[in-house]
Amino acid sequence: MLRGKERALSVPDTLAGLKSGELSAMDAAREALARAKRCRIDINAFSVLNRKDALIAATESEQRYKNGTPRPLEGVPVAVKDMIDTAGCETRYGSQAFVGNVPDRDAAVVRTLREAGAIITGKTTTHEFAWGVTTASETFGDTLNPHDTSRIPGGSSGGMAAAIAYGAVSAGLGTDTGGSVRIPAALCGTVGFKPTYNRLSSQGIFPLAKSLDHPGILGAAMEDVLTLSAVFGMAPQRPPEKLRIAAFPYLRPVPTDAATAAAFEAFCRQLEPLARITPLQDTDMFDGLFDAFADTVLVEAGTEHSARHDPEFIRETYQAETASRIELAQAKTISDLTEARQRTWQFQSDLEQLFEDYDFLILPTCPCTAPLRGQKDLAIGSWSGSERQALMAYTAPFNLAGTPALSLPVHHLTGSELPVGVQLVAPSGSDEALLGLAAEIEDMLRPPA
């Protein structure tokens, strides 16, 4: 990881430097591009650097500061996940099939950032078509976790979280279908925010499963996420006094490892002055949700790719992992999807009832710290299963529900060498309340200077 002055400034500090004149937009862009280049070499977190366009945008930003007409994010370098279209900048969706694809217009979320003055410095790596949790690639090479390069950064927004943890950039855009913003945030020690379903537009984002896809925001800290969220119309709301919070130490059948359990327990203790916390264990409301999620993704993603390309093209061009999943999708039936939908609707109803008694939910973001690269199966306590189920078991339910969820790093509470994330969940439409709570918690947990 980059250290000290080599690391990207926070978004607010960048803005302050630009406004005061201590930092020029051109220098900020050039330094961000240099960091991105080093990040690409060291941990393979960038797929494409956007040098020419970034420097053109920086020239415009400098003129706006001279004219006294800066926009909210004027001159701030950000990155964008490779699943999200960027006009004039190659967007591969993590796949060899789209090498050389240069969109002619921005995705809606990118357009919002550009119109606010942000400078897109590059595209961060993703699992092919966002269909995985490791950000590994047979074609482009694996993205590495900057805390321990023998480990995965999570996925599918692994490149963004890894780039932020490395220090190349302080904030950017990702996508989250079953945890793809929150999982890498937890494994890399950053903040990852998934707003309510449809709160941010998915226009111009390659779909994985349209009923579950959420654009999201990642940042080094809450101040970075809050500054980007503001341009999307989401300002934090101060939480009411003595909150009612339901805490889930784990979700069966997947238990937590020792580091995660210790960090979550420490987090709950720290939170006690702020809220009345009620532990909820051995509940059946989450049972069967991973299967419902997996079937939904198989059917929706399989349909999407089968409509775009013929089977021969998929076999010859897609990575073997993705092609095999599309073949599996052919075996799914209407009854499989109906069963998944019914389980989803029941969970949504159960969650609405739970939120009648509690303001927020808290639980680990993932049940374990970052697995080693190349692991297909994991064993946690007495449970063993796929790496994919382990990492998504605690996040995918909230894609099914469409509720806002945010991962905060908490490993500093126990001194864990590897990052651990805690997930905060709010009722649908309560994005501002969730941001406010997360900001207050982060401030409360910050070690003394």
Q: Is 397 helix (H, G, I), strand (E, B) or coil?
A: helix
Sign of CA dihedral 219, 111, 42, 184: positive
Among 81, 95, 229, 416, the one annotated catalytic? 81
Q: Which residues contact 335 (CB under 8 A, 6 or more apart)?
A: none
Among 10, 61, 156, 229, the one annotated catalytic? 156
Tell me if 125 sits within 8 A of 82, measured CB to CB. Answer: yes
Tell me if 180 sits within 8 A of 155, measured CB to CB. Answer: yes
Tell me if 417 sits within 8 A of 403, measured CB to CB. Answer: no
Rounded to 5 degrees, φ, ψ at 254 are: -95, 115
Element (H, E) at 58: helix 51-67
| 81 counts as catalytic | yes
| 376 counts as catalytic | no
Q: DSSP string of 281-335?
A: -S-STTTTHHHHHHHHHHHHHHHHHHHHS-HHHHHHHS-HHHHHHHHHHHT--HH
Q: What count of other Cβ atoms lies within 10 Å of the Cβ of residue 177? A: 28
| 156 counts as catalytic | yes
What CA–CA distances, in Å, run from 110 to 69, 78, 79, 115, 201? 21, 10, 10, 9, 10
Backbone torsion region of residue 384, taken as left when φ is above 0, otherwise alpha when ψ lies between -120 and 50, otherwise beta: beta
Q: Which residues contact 167 (CB under 8 A, 6 or more apart)?
A: 1, 2, 3, 6, 7, 8, 35, 39
Burial of 236 (0-12, 13-18, 19+ CB in 10 A): buried
- For 50-108, where are the E strands, in sequence order? 77-81
- How far apart CA 326 and CA 306 sit, in angstroms, is 8
- How far apart CA 446 and CA 412 sit, in angstroms, is 9
Among 180, 202, 416, 430, the one annotated catalytic? 180
Enumerate the active-site residues.
Answer: 81, 156, 180
